[in-house]
Every structure is written in C-alpha cells, then in structure tokens.
Amino acid sequence: MITYNEIPAVLEQIQQDLQRVLSLLDNQKEKSKDDDTLLTRQDVKSLLKVSIGTIHNWVKTKRLKKFCLGGRVYFRYRDIMDMLKM
C-alpha cells in the first residue's frame, strides 16, 4: 500500500519503467526489420516482463489483438508497440 505522499515517486518509477520498455522494444524493432513479426505469448511475456494473465487481460479488454494459427496464439510485434505507445 502506498501513501498519498509516495504517489509522485511511484508515478516517476512507472514512467521510467515504461521508457525502459519502449527503449527495449525500439531496440528489438531495429533488430527485426519486419513489423509483422509474430510473437508467442511466451515471447511477449519475456519481452515485456509481464505475466500470461496480464496478456490474457489485454486480449480480453481488446488492448491487444491475437492471431490464432494452427491452435496456437500469436501477437504482431507492431500491435504490441502501438499498444505501449497509447
């Protein structure tokens, strides 16, 4: 539980974390010239350091679009970048 006085510091930390994630994604984008690269749930989990449950919630709330191919779930790299920039 955070106190009212701790909110600015927490928000600053969140902003720094988001900038780090965006930086990592930009670096990944430079390595992968194809924005339509498909990533598995495990790839997204490792890339963003979030849980599978978080990814499921993003799909459920339509923040992130999934693609099903052959019974497997994939996400487009470009969609992940767009979601984070919102």
Q: Classify domain 4-85 by CATH number.
A: 1.10.10
The whole-number pLDDT of residue 48 equals 92
The whole-number pLDDT of residue 24 equals 83
For 4, 33, 66, the CA distances from 58, given in Å and listed in that order, are 28, 25, 10
Tens digit of pLDDT for each residue in 12-54? 999 999 998 888 877 776 665 556 789 999 999 999 999 999 9
CA–CA dist 1, 18 (Å, integer): 21
The whole-number pLDDT of residue 42 equals 95
Domain parsing of the chain, residue ranges: 4-85
Tens digit of pLDDT for each residue in 63-76? 999 999 999 999 99
The whole-number pLDDT of residue 16 equals 92
State residue 39 phi and psi, 5-degree precision.
-120, 145
